[in-house]
Amino acid sequence: MLLIQAALFIIALSFGAKDIPFGDVIGFLLGTVNNDNTLVLKEIRLPRVLGALLVGISLSVAGSIMQGMTKNPLASPSTFGITAGSTVFIAILFAFSPKVSNIMILLCSLLGAFLAALLVFTIGMSGKYKMNTSRIVLAGSAISILLYAVADIINVKFGLAKEISMWSNSGLIGITYQELIIVTPIIVVCSFIAIFYSKKLTLLSIDEELALSLGINVKRLRTILFFLVTFLSGAAVAIGGNIVFIGLVVPHIARQFVGKDYSRIIPSSILVGGSFMMFSDLVARTINAPNETPVTAILSVLSFPVFLYIVKKGAIL
């Protein structure tokens, strides 16, 4: 799988509005070739592909954690409305100041993710039927619709339609190294913490009582996982905009390969998610070149069969 990812990485660097021969790509990565092509690679292609990789990784890991801790096969940052929370807060930020720094975007994105997550977990998990699958998904989608409506109104009210739609539809277009430098540490550190807690997550996903009886502080574990999800989703939205489905389907694809142990699901989600996102972004760039196609559209179409399979297979717990 690592090999596939490496191959995809090189392919994604190679194709685009301007196709670049593999020789140049490898030469660029090794630092031996230096021409016009490597300039394109360095300034445009590389940050973009790295961005796709990071977004894919963070959303997939977040999705895996959420599915494990809620025992809900349909859990993911977008189905639970967490990415919508980030979007709204970024819209509010744009409304208050026209010139915003990357750090501010990230902070708002994280705050939005946190509040939305708090809201959906409170509503969805209240009452007797805790963790009822369809109920929490409905709550998530209602919260998403509501938050997007709020974001739309902010856009209209402050005449921000251009800025916001540039930001939220463009996905990874024009991503810069500065943005990458800010989010990379968050995503990498959170992914490592997630792997560190994955054994406990597995126990939690099997049975809460079991985890308790093995001496795990379930409450603390949940809190840590909750924050991991928030940070990963918020960071992903900050650089990639709204991206749906990937956090939902990637963990299921990973499960097909490695089974139910989260200490293996999370690492393979990193590999599958990164590759999936790079591939989708590649398609988005090339399918209608030189025009860009929103990567979310590609992701929806690619993921839909997997989603139907998950539901059909009776993944509802």
Partner 1 sequence: MIKNNLKIINESKKIKLSIIAIILLLSIMGSLSIGFLDIPFSTVIKVFFGGGTYSESFTILRVRLPRIVIVLLVGFALALSGSVLQTVSRNDLADPGILGINAGAGLGVTLAYMMLPLTGASLYILPLSSFLGAVLMFGLVILFSIERDKGLNPDKLIVTGVGTAIAVSGLMVLLINSMERTDVQFIKSWLSGDIWGDKWEFVLIVFPWILLGTLIVYKKRWILDIMNLDEISTKSVGVNVERERLILIVVAVLLASVSVSVAGAISFVGLIVPHAAKLIFGPLHKNYLPGAMLLGGTLMVLADFIGRNLFYPQGIPAGIVVSLIGAPYFLYLIYKKGNA
Q: Which is nearer to partner 1, 163 or 261 (CB)?
A: 163
Query: How far is 108 from 89, CA to CA, in rounded Å?
Result: 5
Among 97, 99, 128, 219, binds partner 1 (CB under 8 A): 128
The answer to whether residue 132 forms part of the interface with partner 1 (CB under 8 A) is: yes
The secondary structure of 253-299 as a DSSP string is: HHHHHH-S-HHHHHHHHHHHHHHHHHHHHHHHHHTTTTS---HHHHH
Terminal C-alpha separation, the chain: 29
Question: Exposed (0-12), middle (13-18) or buried (19+): which is 141, by Cβ within 10 Å?
Answer: middle
Give the H or E element holding residue 4. Answer: helix 2-14
Q: Does 162 bind partner 1 (CB under 8 A)?
A: no
Binders of partner 1 in range 211-250 (CB under 8 A) = 244-245
By CB under 8 A, residue 316 contacts partner 1: yes
Comparing CB distances to partner 1, the nearer of 179 and 281 is: 281
Report the residue number, 97 or 291, with the smaller CB distance to partner 1. 291
CA-derived radius of gyration, the chain:
19
Q: Is there binding between residue 137 and partner 1 (CB under 8 A)?
A: yes
Half-sphere exposure (Cβ direction) of 71: Cα atoms closer than 13 Å: 12
Exactly one of 2, 6, 17, 153 binds partner 1 (CB under 8 A); which one? Answer: 153
Cβ-in-10-Å burial (0-12, 13-18, 19+) of 193 comes to middle
Residue 195 is a binding residue for partner 1 (CB under 8 A): no
Alpha-carbon distances of 114 from 121, 139, 144, 180, 289, rounded to whole Å: 11, 16, 14, 21, 37
- Tell which positions 73-102 bind partner 1, by CB under 8 A: 74, 78-79
Q: Using CB under 8 A, which of 2, 4, 10, 145 touches partner 1?
A: 145
Binding mask 280-309 for partner 1 (x = CB under 8 A): -------xx--x-xx-xxxxxx-xx--xx-
By the rule CB under 8 A, 17 interacts with partner 1: no
Residue 22: enclosing H or E segment and its boundaries? helix 22-30
Positions touching partner 1 (CB under 8 A) are 74, 78-79, 123-124, 126-129, 132-135, 137-139, 141-143, 145-146, 148-150, 152-153, 156-157, 244-245, 287-288, 291, 293-294, 296-301, 303-304, 307-308, 311-312, 314, 316
